[in-house]
Amino acid sequence: MGIDRRSTLEIIRIINREDRRVPSAVAKQLNNIARIVDGVVDALRAGGRVFYVGAGTSGRLGVLDASEMPPTFGVSPLMFQGLIAGGSAALTRSVEAAEDDEESAVRELMRRGFSRGDVLIGLSASGGTPYVLAAARKAKQIGARVFGITCNAKAPLLWIADCAVVLRVGPEVIAGSSRMKCGTAQKMVLNMISTASMIRLGKVHGNVMIGLQPKSRKLRDRAIRIISQVARVEPDVAGEMLRRSHGDVRCAIVMARHGVSRHRAKSLLRRARGDPDKVATIVGRGRLGDG
């Protein structure tokens, strides 16, 4: 209370002090986050997809996380999808009434072919957003796994979800402004879920992103550094392998390590289920060939 009568520095200090509560709230939910990651990994391995569903800030965070998966890990843009109440218009401006539109949530889910092999993750600070609850109920009706992320321990979403993360971040600095601590906490959890899932699926080697898509100068330079580091070759060699692999970092690593063509590298990676390290075992057994 009274934050409107504080100096700029005092306001910032108050916000910073409150933000420190977020990591602690997330840490208390690590077991549930891990359960969600395991569910996501199982679904993705079986060919399923992940749908983030939210409204307002929560919806924007879901769309943001989903949109970052293809360039970061080289996966299909269909693997992670974000549904936001109000559609694309709600990404850049507030469409408040859209969060009450239950029919549009179900309609959009069905338009995207949601099935029982997919996973739905409902995002709602209050845990009672009609748009999110309608989508969650539909997903359960279909037989899909449903998870939730909320900041309300009494959220209706908890009664629908198979597993939910409840982030007890406390009251916001500005009453009701869930874009603050609630938004920060949800962003942290989404980062954990998507990143840990990609690690479990072999999209990370050591701690580098071997699935990234080098579509900009910055990402191309990063790809070359990754190939050079993992394959232990000079940067100029790494750059040439990246060119010959048509921008496929994983393929370029195998080409550089084993002196094989792009075609053979891809064949070897298929046998090794995408793991460059396992390719060495296949080569060592004399199984190198055109596949």
Residue among 10, 18, 68, 103 flagged as catalytic: 68
240 has catalytic annotation: no
Is the separation of the CB atoms in 68 and 211 below 8 Å? no
Distance CA 268, CA 245 (A): 14
- CA gap 81, 86 in Å, rounded: 15
For residue 241, how far is the Cα from the chain centroid?
29
Closest CA to 39 of 131, 150, 117: 117
Catalytic residue among 99, 102, 108, 172: 99
Residue 239 structure tokens? 């750059």
In the structure encoding, which two tokens stand for residue 200, read together?
């479990």
| Catalytic (active site) residue 99 | yes
In whole angstroms, give the CA distance from residue 231 to residue 21.
42
* H-run or E-run covering 135: helix 130-142
Give the three-state DSSP class for 267.
helix
Catalytic residue numbers, as ranges:
68, 99
